[in-house]
Structure 1
Amino acid sequence: MSFPPGGTYFDTTKRSFNQVPIDSTKDNGAISTTEFLEASEALTGLFDVLGSVAFQPVKNDMGGNIKKIRERQLAAPVESETLQDLVRNELKGKKHTATEGLVWLVRGLDFTSQALRQNLTNSSEELSKSFRDAYGNTLKQYHTFLIKPIFSAAMSATPYRADFYKKLGDDQPRVQKELDEWLVGLEKNVGILKTFLDSKEAKW
């Protein structure tokens, strides 16, 4: 991962979650599908910064769910301009591949945002603890006994805190400020989608 001197990792991402259009007049916040998927793809690059092959299954899982949502969007673009419309229209057709993909993607995003928020807030905490706590709060309850050890291995393989933040950029105050702004956008998207996906109209 390379960026100009004084730059940060966030300079290299195509889109961050605080750049995803949200129409607050609809659906408690109708989220634009295209930009949300771009921001989600950009987020998976963070697992490369974490640097361990143990995170590859986490990255692949998120990538697979992004693909399911994008395939539905390409198949029915007019019905899929927002994530909420995409879900409603897919479920009307008695299918739920993309909807299920979105449920799992949001769980993965929630896990990532909770881990990084906890770590940013607690400046002496190692990433392994932040990620392990976030896993317990989010994904763990949905995972089978076969999947849990794979994710546990990833939590144990996180780099030291200082090394991770250095990889995000030389200018640490700027890194922390931009990570915070990025997380605020991510948390907003996740919050809206969790509420929607928990509602009756998103069930199959």
Structure 2
Amino acid sequence: MKPNTKIYNVSRVEAGRLINGKGNLDIWDKAIVLNDFASPWENTVIDDIEFRALHNSENLFFQFKVYDSKIHINQADNSYVSIGNSDRVELFFRTNESLDPYYCLEIDPISRMMDFKARPNKLFDYNWNWPKTDISIKSKICKECFVVEVAISFFSLKAFNLIHDNIIEAGIFRAKYRKQECGAYKPTWITWVNPLTEIPDFHGPTSFGRLKLEN
């Protein structure tokens, strides 16, 4: 059974770089607010998430506002293990439904990024990185929320064959870690598209929606 295809329309703007990590630039009023997130595998209330995207002639811009006053960040070091054990937002991009390959960006509230290239059956290449000259990240932790803003060049998206007829197939996710009575932290997996899997799994073909770039 396949989920219904979800589409998010990305408005075009003429301004330059749109990110300051604070989420307070007026230009973001031109973006559609996406807040259709859920955790299909848990019967629990999740914090509000607001996702926005815009684009201009050079870059695709993303903004997450996650309303959470109890953020968990593992700062043991800056390793992928530390990032992977922290609250974060995630963007996946795939070349096609075969997931061969797809690209994963997982970003925590202090702008640390775990980026890797993947292939079917969770074959992850952690030695691969999104070109640093083609991505910029800014973030801020506020009293009620944290903000993550990302700018990605169209040059890199086209180089990785991720744009077809103004459509980018993307997964939009969040991982929320909650402290258990035993003292350990357990993740709640939150997604835009319900992949209709029995257990949490963002790494399958049913977890992706579509970003449509408006002219």
* Structure 1 and Structure 2 fold alike (TM over 0.5): no
Normalized per residue, which structure has more helix? 1
Name the TM-score, length of structure 1 as normaliser: 0.28
Normalized per residue, which structure has more strand? 2
Name the TM-score, length of structure 2 as normaliser: 0.27
